Structure 1
Amino acid sequence: MDRYHINILGISECRWTGYGECKTEEHSFIYSGLEEGSEHRYGVGIIFKKKNKRTVGGMETG
């Protein structure tokens, strides 16, 4: 992302189950998929620089 000057990146076909956030020093990854124990399909995610957290906002689960 840094190499191509990308601040926010959407990921389709993220195959993780559940939902959550993973963090590094400079980036965060928010993901949402099917319930735990389900197939590893239909998930999505967003990777963004931490400085853009206010732009991304939060995540609602339903």
Structure 2
Amino acid sequence: VEDDSGQIWIKGWRNQAVLLDGLSVGEIISVTTVNAKAGLEGRTELFLTPFSTIVKKN
């Protein structure tokens, strides 16, 4: 995902990955209850949790 300040990856595994289904490039979304940590390439990534929500805003 990205905004005017930059870009960050959101990752979800198994049940959390379902939250990412149906999203398209250019959609405005709100994401809550994620964990931020360093990914394999050293940059910060957001990881979905069992309590995460993604809501389409447009």
Structure 1 and Structure 2 fold alike (TM over 0.5) = no
**TM score, norm. by length of structure 1:** 0.23
**TM score, norm. by length of structure 2:** 0.24
Give the structure, 1 or 2, with the largest relative contact order (CA under 8 Å, sep 6 or more): 2
- If you compute each CA radius of gyration, which structure gives the higher value, 1 or 2? 1
Higher strand share: 2
